[in-house]
Every structure is written in structure tokens, then in C-alpha cells.
A and B are shown apart, each in its own frame.
Chain A
Amino acid sequence: MKTHVWRPLYVVIGIILIILIIRAFYVPSDFGVHERGYMYGWYRKGNIEEWKNFKVKYQGEGYCKDCHPDKIESIMKTPHAIIQCENCHGPAIDHPSEPPKLKIDRSREQCLRCHFPLPYPTSGRANIRGVDPERHNPGIECVMCHNPHSPSSGGKR
């Protein structure tokens, strides 16, 4: 065959070689077919560790108990015992070092998540006492009168 046929072929082979060389450096060695085969298990294995190292923010009430046992003990005697501290106080993250102070959600909306009355059969919601927020002291925070750590003690501060 004549050279005008071979020349573009060399160019194509050259381009393919360059791509393969770049690929060898760019694609990490742990990328490939793993446990579940090509369809579900074609991935970079190092990513699993990356996800495992993601920062935990919600520490759970066991973490709070170490420094605030009095608060835990008092709320444990009330119907609000089932609610995690961090649901209202916000995620602890590395408290007390970071953040040094947690931002408490004292909004009416926070209480209404459960205490807006929805009379739904086949849902536990129907069993929770509620108030009509448009009639029951609108505009002021519930915690002005009610103590969320002791809701059953007459409901009043």
C-alpha cells in the first residue's frame, strides 16, 4: 500500500496510544470491576472509605448525657422523653469545642410539627393533643408558657 494510506493510520494509532497513556495515569488502580461484577460493581474502591470518613453531626442523647445528666433525667419522666435533644437543640457536632453554643429551635413551628391537630385514622398523629395555632395565642412562642422539658406538669411554667 502507498504511504498516503499509512500516514493517517499512524496518526490514529498515535492518538490511541496517547489516550491509553493518559488513562494509565488518570484512572486510579482501585478503579475496576469488584464484587458484584461489571453491572453493579464497577467503581473506585477508595470511595467507600471516603464516605465512611464523612463527618458525623448528630451525636445522640448519650453524648449529651455526659455533661447534662440533670436535663436528661428530668425529661425522661415526661412524654417528651422520646424526643432526641438534638431535634430542638440542633446537631451537637463537636460541642462544646465546635460549636461552643447550640442554636435552639424555639419556634412555634417546631412544636406544631406534632401538635397541629390532624385527626387522621390509621396514623399515630390522631392520638397527639393539638392546638389550633390561629386561635391559641398566635404570634408568641409556645415556650413562653409551656416548658418543653416538662410538658405534662400542668403544661405551664
Chain B
Amino acid sequence: MISRRDFLKNAAKGIVGLSIPLAAIEIISPEKIFASKGDKKVRWVFLVDTYKCVGCGLCVKACKLENEIPYDANVTRTWVERYVIRKDGKVFADTPKGARDGFTTDKIALGEGKYQEIKKEDISQAFFVPKLCNQCENPPCVQVCPVGATYQAPDGVVLVDRKWCIGCGYCIMACPYGVRFFHPVYKTAEKCNFCYHRITKGLKTACVQACPFGARQIGNIKDPDDPVSKIIMTERVGILKEEYGTKPQVYYIGLNKEVR
């Protein structure tokens, strides 16, 4: 039999124990403290202006040649989507060959060799949306890698270690944006890395340089004087699939709800 005194004592201990938040007993890793000191001066971000994009696809062509992605294989690190919204509300979207050769027909590809013709007067909205890796702050593709072959570099870019990748394809499945694919030559996971070899040398990415209309821009969000940072901080910009909590770092001007 438990005495009244013991019962009250144990109940008080239990209440104190329950009131300690879980965070208070979390083991703090030294890496976390080191990182939070904030010596990181660079965090690469991307800005896309969908009003400026004309769907020429020169960015896709440049990306494939710059990054040695087999030109005729149906894989690409970046692509351009065309959205045509009809006045009756129906949405059509296509990206033939990832827009490697641009959009040289007004027929919308529906897949399986079928095409949809839309009359000019039936269009309520039509525009182009370039897509590329979002270099998420919380990249789900990195979480699922079982061998540590894909990771977030200190400047925010998610890279793939081709020597370490075993080609299991988990990351390709995990990416909500579908930006990852299997490299047909190296047989490893492949993705846009913001042309890491270029941005770390002070160059623009191949797609940014190739775009004649300034629809694509790359910047450093940690630099308050960076023109891209200024736009992201002061103008109305959108991100893709916010609800996944991945914190994507590719920002869009003129994003529509139809864009997925």
C-alpha cells in the first residue's frame, strides 16, 4: 500500500519531470553550435521572372552542354514549362524535350503523340515557367540518401558525390519537384547544382548567362546589397510547393496557382 506522503511526493516529482521541455534534454551537437556562429557569408538563391521568359529554351541548351548532360537523352537539369489557361478554366501544360529546342508550335503536347490546338481568342492566360533544382533549405532528397552521397554544401547548394552514389534512386523519388534524374552515362543520381563550378568562380550559371531576357538570375541572399536579394526581400515573390516544408530557394515573380 502506498502512503499518502509517498503518493504526494511522487506526484510532485512527476509533474516537475513532465514540465521539462524536451528541448532542454536534447543533446546539443558541437557542429550545430559551430554552424550557428554564422561565419557563412554565402547562401545561393535563384530568381525567375516568368513575365520575362519567352520560352526560347536557350537556357536548357546551355545547361545541357555546360554540364555534360547527354544532349538527345530525355533528361535535363533544367527545363521550361508552358502553361496555357483557356477561358473555360481548363489548364494545359507541356514541355517538349524540356524545351531544349524552345516552343516552335502553338499545339500543346498532351503526351502519347496527341496534341491540343487552342485558338488565340480562347486563351485567358499563357506563360512560360523555367524550372530547376530549388536547393531547398530542408532538402528531402538529402534526408533519404542511405550512403551520404548527396548533401547540402555550406553555401546551401545540394550536390551529388558521383563516387559515393550507389544509384538506388531514393532521392529521385523523394524530390517533390521532380528535378532529379538518373545520369545515363555515370549511372548516378543527377541534378542541377546552380553550376557550382561557375558560381564559385564568380561567374553566372550557364542558364543565367544564356538567357537573353534576364528571366533567370542568381544571387546571394546573405548579401543585403545583392540585387537578387533586394528583389526577394522587397517584392512579391512566390515559391513552389510551400506546403511540403522544404523551404525552396528558387523564387518566382508572377507565379500562378496553376503552376505545380
Contact = CB atoms under 8 A, between A and B. Distances in A.
Interface of A: 31, 33-37, 39-44, 47-48, 50-58, 60, 82-84, 86-87, 90-91, 109, 112-114, 116, 118-125, 128, 133
A123 B201 CA distance: 33
A123 B128 contact: yes
B174 interface: no
B31 A121 contact: no
B31 A34 contact: yes
Contact size range, B: 35 or more
A92 B29 CA distance: 47
A40 B29 contact: no
Contact of A121 (B56, B61, B123): B123
B152 A33 contact: no
Interface in B67-111: 67, 84, 101-106
Contacts of A121: 123-126
A47 B143 contact: no
Contact of A60 (B103, B125, B209): B209
| Chain A to chain B: the 5 pairs with minimum beta-carbon distance, closest first | A43-B151, A113-B102, A120-B126, A54-B197, A125-B54
Contacts of A124: 51-54, 213, 215
A89 to B, nearest CB: 12
B9 interface: no
Nearest to B137: A40
B13 to A, nearest CB: 33
Contact of A52 (B67, B149, B196): B196
A44 B150 CA distance: 9
Contacts of A43: 148-151, 159, 161, 164
B161 to A, nearest CB: 4
